[in-house]
Chain A
């Protein structure tokens, strides 16, 4: 049974790394947001895997992942709202152009 845990964790790690790679390299802000969602879901996967196959199985992990999804939805809504505002101001969704935080 515990053999299953390794596979889930591996899948979650791969998903997380993909998300991380996307978040750090993609120039389009939309893709970056998508990548962040990917990372969050990798974490959700981890939580569920542990709640099922972990040392102390229980419902806590599943509850947590539900919370996560809710917050991820809220975050996506806020993120896209900011993105639209930025796009209106700068006329682009390119992350490289958003460097107002410099200095």
Chain B
């Protein structure tokens, strides 16, 4: 069927871009109006994305691609355009929706900030970049937006640039993700070299990599395919905070809390998962690359979950939880189920945005991020507590919340043929449930510890997004359950038979409940003293609290040597290069000084010098003749 709305899909990213331009041009004069411009533009985007989505859901619409020449010289031919498929229609809705809620929420959270319009301008640019990334029709265009997303995260993480920690975090986020970007860029160059007619658009990539004949005709061997796949994944590692490039994500918590929600739910980190899902054909053609994706994802899932247990900063716990959940998504894609990965991305977007916005509501009220300084907030902030609880349950994978269904899909995918990864996933799920219950009980129950007086519920502009997200965190899982495989069929375009794996469902539920139960015993009932456990295993506590010393390790093996090389090069530049330059300059100056001294007004001296010059000239001429 002909698609109507998809033909104009380019207007979706245009709205936030418009908001960005208006706010940048006229921002300073309008405070409240500027905020509304941003909200209305994002809302318009959301409505249009929803129309596209509904149209595609309603009937079997063909993918729509439109492109035009961008650069053409000699044999080089680059194009720009947009493409609408079921996958990116879904992404458009997630991104615009989360962005819209973050916009509304920020109106309350950022109220009174000097640079509130700048903030909203950046948020609009961020949304624009991510939407552009999603509807890009070729790799190069995607890469441009990919970098724009990186710039926006830099701007927003460092939004409170007066704080040195925020400045450092912004730089770290930018530099660490750049390491991954280099990988992606090399992958694009390799594709450009190897693809027939240098085509970089996703349709051609799909055509070549799904047909072994075409692959052989293009001269792309198994080694090259694996290399391209792994390099694309390196890009995703950087953006999606997978081990070993995960270090920037927790530090990015220095930015305003709504930004954390935006980065963690919809924009920045989703880009990596989306990229791998979009170029899945490349991975599919290379089993080795798939293995790498699956194992890096699985390792990240459990690695970040264990760190999350020992953190004390509310936002950092959530950040490590995001890293861990992104590991799940990568693992799902790596074991061959794009649907499970994208489904987890879809549900995760809602409950993680919910958790971050809830945390923001708490921080906004008591200006504290240490969970030991909170407690008993549940009575004062009922809406926040309830919605946060729903988010925590969804993240812990308790039925019937959305997280259960998506985590179950991931685990069921791992169960088929990757039993090792399944076990890893189950253990990570246990830790997830444990740290979420720890977080919830410490913050919202027990005796109030906070020094802040007058704790009350946040304004409606902040609680309404929480409620909407809470509803979605409950119901969004039902689009893809073992009893209803509509989502998978729709996303992959083929009939997928999802058979209910009750063993997996039972295990994941029991593990989730066990984790919550343990958290309840320790942090609510105080039946088990957490200090006693920590006292028995001091080295482990220390290891986890220090995030496995990864930052320190990087500092020792990368930052310090690079600094040393930098210092040496700077010294070379300062002393050798500058020395030569300064030497030439001072030589000229000295010559000048010497000749000034000759000009003493004595005619006889002048004569003598003239004579000397003549003699030199004669010697030179005669000498040359004799040579």
User: Residue B623 at the A interface, CB < 8 A?
Assistant: no
> In chain B, what residue has the closest Cβ to A95?
B604
Q: Other CB < 8 Å A-B pairs besides A24-B607, A32-B604, A96-B602, 19 of them? A: A23-B604, A24-B604, A24-B608, A25-B604, A95-B602, A95-B604, A98-B601, A98-B603, A99-B600, A99-B601, A99-B602, A100-B601, A101-B601, A101-B603, A102-B599, A102-B600, A102-B601, A103-B599, A103-B601
Instruction: Decide if A13 is an interface residue (CB 8 Å cutoff).
Output: no
Distance (Å) between the CB of A42 and the closest chain B CB? 15
Select from chain A the residue with minimum beta-carbon distance to B608: A24
Whole-angstrom CA separation of A32 from B600 in the bound complex: 18
Q: Which residues of B contact A96 (CB under 8 A)?
A: 602
When distances are taken between beta carbons in the complex, the residues of chain A under 8 Å from B611 are 20, 24
A31 CB to nearest chain B CB (Å): 12
Interface size class for chain B? under 10
Closest A residue to B596 by CB, please name it: A103
CB distance from B295 to the nearest CB of A (A): 83
Q: How far is the CA of A100 from the CA of B607 in the complex (A)?
A: 16
A100 to B: closest C-beta gap in Å: 7
Q: How far is the CB of B609 from chain A (nearest CB, A)?
A: 10
Per-residue CB proximity of B582-617 to A under 8 Å, as 1/0? 000000000000000001111110011001000000
**Chain B residues whose C-beta falls within 8 Å of the C-beta of A101 in the assembled complex:** 601, 603
Q: Which residues of A contact B601 (CB under 8 A)?
A: 98-103
Q: Residue on A with the closest CB to B602?
A: A99
Residue contacts A-B, CB under 8 angstroms, 21 given? A20-B611, A23-B604, A23-B607, A24-B608, A24-B611, A25-B604, A32-B604, A95-B602, A95-B603, A96-B602, A98-B601, A98-B603, A99-B600, A99-B601, A99-B602, A100-B601, A101-B601, A101-B603, A102-B599, A102-B600, A102-B601
Within 8 A of B (CB), among A1-49: 20, 23-25, 32
- In angstroms, Cα B258 to Cα A60, docked, is 105
Q: What DSSP secondary structure best describes chain B's contact surface?
A: helix
Q: How far is the CA of A96 from the CA of B607 in the complex (A)?
A: 13
Interface residues in chain A, defined as those with a beta carbon under 8 Å from any beta carbon in chain B: 20, 23-25, 32, 95-96, 98-103
Complex alpha-carbon distance, A101 and B599, angstroms = 9
Q: For residue A96, which residue of chain B has the nearest CB?
A: B602
In the complex, A33→B604 CA distance in Å?
12
Q: Mask for B562-573, Cβ within 8 A of A = 1, else 0? A: 000000000000
Which residue of the partner chain B has the closest CB to A99? B601
How many Å lie between the Cα of A61 and that of B599 in the bound state?
38
Nearest-CB distance from B613 to chain A (Å)?
Answer: 14
Complex-state Cα separation, A88 to B608, whole angstroms: 27
With a CB–CB cut-off of 8 A, which chain A residues contact B600?
99, 102
CB distance from B522 to the nearest CB of A (A): 92
**Within the assembled complex, what's the spacing in Å between the Cα atoms of A52 and B105?**
114
- Given the complex of chains A and B, what is the CA–CA distance between A103 and B602 in angstroms? 11
Nearest-Cβ distance from residue B317 to partner chain A, whole angstroms: 80
Interchain CA distance A60-B530 in the complex, whole Å: 123
A29: nearest residue on chain B (CB-CB)? B603
Which residue of chain B has the shortest Cβ distance to A98 in the bound complex?
Answer: B603
Smallest CB-CB A-B distances: 10 pairs? A102-B601, A99-B601, A101-B601, A24-B604, A24-B608, A24-B607, A102-B600, A99-B602, A95-B604, A99-B600
- Chain B residue at minimum C-beta to C-beta distance from A101: B601
The interface bits of chain B over 164-198 (1 if a CB of A lies within 8 angstroms of the residue's CB, else 0) are 00000000000000000000000000000000000
Interface centre among A23, A24, A32 (most CB of B within 10 A): A24
Nearest Cβ distance between residue B124 and chain A, in whole angstroms? 68
Most-contacted residue by chain A among B599, B601, B608, B611 (CB, 10 A): B601
CA distance A20 to B614 in the complex (A): 13
- B604's nearest neighbour on chain A, judged by CB, is A24
Smallest distance from the beta carbon of B50 to chain A beta carbons, Å?
86
* Beta-carbon nearest neighbor of B605 in chain A: A24
Tell me the bound Cα distance from A96 to B601 in angstroms: 9
Q: How far is the CA of A20 from the CA of B600 in the complex (A)?
A: 20
Q: Which residues of A contact B604 (CB under 8 A)?
A: 23-25, 32, 95
With a cutoff of 8 Å between Cβ atoms, the chain A residues found around residue B603 in the complex are 95, 98, 101
In the complex, how many angstroms separate the beta carbon of B139 from the nearest chain A beta carbon? 71
B125 CB to closest chain A CB (Å) equals: 64
Chain B, range 33-82, C-beta contacts under 8 Å to A: none
Distance of A53 from chain B, by nearest CB (Å): 24
Give Cα A23 to B611, complex, Å: 12
- The answer for the CA separation of A29 and B611 in the assembled complex, in Å, is 19
User: Across the interface, which residues of A come within 8 angstroms of B608, CB to CB?
Assistant: 24
Q: How many whole Å from B385's CB to the nearest CB in chain A?
A: 89
Q: For the complex, give the distance between the alpha carbons of A102 and B604 in Å.
A: 13
A95 vs B607: C-alpha distance when bound (angstroms): 13
Q: Compute how far the CA of A43 lies from the CA of B164 in the bound complex, rounded to whole angstroms.
A: 85
Most chain A CB within 10 A, of B604, B608, B611, is at: B604
Cα distance A25–B608 when bound, in Å? 9
